[in-house]
Amino acid sequence: MAEVFKAKAFGSHGFEKVLAIKRILPELARDAEFENRFIAEAKLTVALTHANIVQVFDFGRFGGSLYIAMEHVDGPDLAALISAWTRKGQPIPMSASMYIGMELCKALDFAHRRGVVHRDISPSNILISREGEVKVADFGIAHTLAESQGALSGTRRIMGKWPYMSPEQARGEKLDARSDLFSVGVVLYELFTGTRLFPGSDVQAIIKSLHEMEIPLPSALRPGLPPALDGVLGRALERDPTKRYPQAVALLRALTEISYQSTLVATASDVASVVEEAFAPSASAREEAKAPSSELIDDIIRSELLGAEGGGESEQDVRVTVKAGPPTVFRPSEPEGTGGAVLVRREVGDDGITVWELDAGEKARIPSVQVHAEVKRPLGSRPPVLVASALMGALAVGLVGWIVRRSSSHEARMPDAALAQAYLRIEGNPGASILLNGVEWREKAPTTVPVPPSDAVRPHAIEVRLPGFRPWRDPGVVVRADERLVYRPQLEPMVGTLIVQSEPSGAVVELDGHGLGETPLIGIEVRADDRPHSLRVRKNGYVDVSEEIRVVDGKTIVINRRLEPLVRYGTIDLFAEPWAEVFLEGRKVGEAPARGLKLPMGRHRLRLVNPVQHRETVIVVDVPSKRPYRVSLP
């Protein structure tokens, strides 16, 4: 689906940052399905800010292809780490394996609590840094629980890696967090034992094993594993989702308990040592890392932008003046003898996608912030085209002079006050309403709002609203003339808390047909969308309990129900002399004589009454019964 480049962002005062840039493959760049999937990955991942998830810094379009600028993790993926230790003829040490497993659970717990199911948990998507950090990557086929609730229609598309997907994922069914936990179980099984659980490349054979194979105990493959680990991995690998751990935090707690019980110290240092032992850098690699790159990233950018237009062989130093403002434009100063310049323009479309493109249009009307950079570039008879180091820095971590404002205030002052106008740029959260000083702006996010300058005495108040999310507010916006503040608010979903208990416990809880786990369920977060939800509590041998609930943001709903045993019925033949009415526990259940009298199964005391002759008696019967009961009333 994509290719990944190692890149370096350059900034002022010698700032440098290594990044990874993931770009959709050129042959797929014009495929709407792949583009939509790539966009969905960026939108999902940018909201998942967690130490155990690879971070996204920027997203846009460059040279005709979509890209995602991401955190660079210096180290192997888990598949490479397992293979390296397998070649050594040793399993990965227990302490490192335990730490990797616990950190993986932390990442998924964070994603699941925000309604995101990864669907592609496998060793190749778990990155391990040389410092011992564990990070989940590649949310390319992830989806939200809300998407999962949609009806399945037409052809079911099964996506993921067959040896690591859950049985329900292999069947193309609706998925929830428990599907990821099955995949985690498969990964942990391989991590702790050094043996793949469902090996091979034949899809049908893997599917058959996935549904039918008896899973060997991990301790049988690797002596010395804590005995409790067999039970923990066994529950994670249950074919029935209702029997698995309901949440990643429950699996994390189970692994932590094993670590404590086994006095096993599991730290990032243990993982770092395992990586170092398997992937110690060679002397040549260390020397290469010290040497300057022969192909600077600026050259790559220039070749991308100008590849179709050609260029000469000569070189010339060009002093660049970068001007920032609405819109953001990078423009080179024109050397003598040239007839014009080509602009590199950065814009953000209505869908929130950053676009970098060449633009030979008119000069931009922008405030003047001067940022100088020197670049060498090939020149022919054509006017020079600016692609400076600032472009790569902007591509990866934001623009020079571009201010990103999250929950705290980070402002940049533009010194030229020639324009008595200021700008507020609201990015992310497509479709959100923007209120400035209580008045709704005519455009939805992402958008730019021109505002009069403000100060601390009379600041602006800005609010971002999106259905299903808590409003985001900043009542003290100070923006001076010619300033441009960019907000990228992280809206929190409106959620309520659900507590479900039952007597007896162990009942399956479903909300709108989606399984939440087994009772007792404590502190389950549910989206508060101001609509009725159907809650069902069921347990084999007991009558189902169903009721309607409404989830209110910030409120806790407590459901505590005693389940009634499910009554099963049988029949008896009962002949009474003379006739009689039949009562069970004070309730009339029929008249005798009767064949096939329907009664609850078990032993019961029946009272037979003839109200005309004032006769009655009590008998004990077993239901069902093949022998007839004959009674003469006294």
pLDDT tens digits along 244-269: 999 999 999 999 999 988 888 899 99
How large a percentage of the chain has pLDDT more than 90?
33
Exposed e or buried b per residue across 265-296, where buried means at least 16 C-beta atoms within 10 angstroms of its C-beta: ebebebbbebbeebeeeeeeeeeeeeeeeeeb
Give dist(CA 172, CA 485) in Å, integer: 45
Greater confidence (477 vs 40) lies with 477
Per DSSP, which regions of 49-123 are E strands? 56-62, 65-71, 116-117
Is 120 considered catalytic here? yes
H helix or E strand, kind and range, residue 233: helix 228-236
Which phi and psi angles does 156 have, rounded to 5°? -85, 125
What's the pLDDT tens digit per position in 577-612? Answer: 999 999 999 999 999 999 999 999 889 999 999 999
Give dist(CA 172, CA 183) in Å, integer: 15
> Strand order in 587-592's β-sheet?
587-592, 580-584, 602-610, 615-623
404-487 and 495-562 have identical folds: yes
pLDDT of 340 higher than 50 = no
Please tell me the class of the 78-149+158-278 domain.
mainly alpha
Greater confidence (312 vs 486) lies with 486
Is the Cβ–Cβ distance between 193 and 266 less than 8 Å? no
What's the pLDDT tens digit per position in 4-59? Answer: 899 888 877 778 889 999 888 777 766 777 777 788 778 888 888 899 999 988 88
Q: Range with the lowest mean pLDDT among 124-133, 148-157, 578-587?
A: 148-157
Domain extents for the chain? Answer: 2-72, 78-149+158-278, 297-397, 404-487, 495-562, 569-632
pLDDT band of 366, cuts 50, 70, 90: very low
> Which candidate, 152, 153, 155, places its Cα nearest to that of 173?
152
Distance, CA of 231 to chain centre: 27
Is the Cβ–Cβ distance between 605 and 620 less than 8 Å? yes
pLDDT of 335 higher than 90 = no
- Written as six digits, the tokens of 365 are 């009307």
What's the pLDDT at 420? 60
Which phi and psi angles does 488 have, rounded to 5°? -130, 70
Within 10 angstroms of residue 624's Cβ, the number of other Cβ atoms is 15
Q: Range with the lowest mean pLDDT among 72-86, 277-291, 316-330?
A: 316-330
| CATH architecture of the region 495-562 | Sandwich (2.60)
CATH number assigned to the domain covering 404-487: 2.60.40
What's the pLDDT at 591? 93
- Written as six digits, the tokens of 102 are 């616990």
Greater confidence (76 vs 385) lies with 76
Q: Which amino acid is at 249?
A: V
pLDDT of 375 higher than 60 = no
Give dist(CA 244, CA 256) in Å, integer: 17
**How does the average pLDDT of the chain come out, rounded?**
77
What's the pLDDT at 616? 94
Highest mean pLDDT among 96-105, 200-209, 530-539: 96-105
What's the pLDDT at 407? 33
Give dist(CA 581, CA 5) in Å, integer: 86
Q: Range with the lowest mean pLDDT among 14-28, 376-390, 411-425, 515-529?
A: 376-390
Q: Which position among 58, 77, 120, 298 bears the catalytic label?
A: 120
pLDDT of 298 higher than 60 = no
What's the pLDDT at 156? 54
The contacts found for 617-623 with CB under 8 angstroms, 24 or more apart, are 621/572, 621/574, 622/572, 623/569, 623/570, 623/571, 623/572, 623/599
What's the pLDDT at 303? 53
Is the Cβ–Cβ distance between 447 and 387 less than 8 Å? no
Q: Residues 6 or more apart from 76 whose CB is under 8 A from it?
A: 84, 127, 128, 275, 278, 279
Is the Cβ–Cβ distance between 376 and 315 less than 8 Å? yes
What's the pLDDT at 576? 93
Greater confidence (483 vs 615) lies with 615
- Written as six digits, the tokens of 302 are 């220039």
Packed helices 268-278 and 78-87: angle between N→C axes, nearest 10 degrees: 60
| CATH architecture of the region 2-72 | 2-Layer Sandwich (3.30)
pLDDT band of 73, cuts 50, 70, 90: very high
What's the pLDDT at 355? 59
H helix or E strand, kind and range, residue 188: helix 177-193
DSSP readout, 311-373?
--SEEEEEEEEEE-SSSEEEEEPPPTT----BEEEEEE-TTS-EEEEEE--PPP------EEE
pLDDT of 422 higher than 50 = yes
Q: What is the pLDDT averaged over residues 497-505?
A: 89
What's the pLDDT at 345? 53
What's the pLDDT at 373? 33
Q: What is the pLDDT averaged over residues 91-115?
A: 94
What does DSSP say about strands 447-451 and 422-426: parallel, antiparallel, or unpaired? antiparallel
Q: Where are the alpha helices (DSSP H) in 29-77?
A: 32-46
Give dist(CA 394, CA 16) in Å, integer: 12
- Written as six digits, the tokens of 344 are 């590199």
> Which candidate, 486, 520, 528, 526, places its Cα nearest to that of 500?
520
What's the pLDDT at 319? 33
pLDDT of 488 higher than 50 = yes
DSSP readout, 108-162?
HHHHHHTTEE-S---GGGEEE-TTS-EEE---TT-EEHHHHTSPP-SSPPP-S-G
pLDDT band of 448, cuts 50, 70, 90: confident
> Which candidate, 322, 326, 323, 321, places its Cα nearest to that of 486?
326
Within 10 angstroms of residue 313's Cβ, the number of other Cβ atoms is 7
Query: DSSP 3-state assignment of 561?
Result: strand
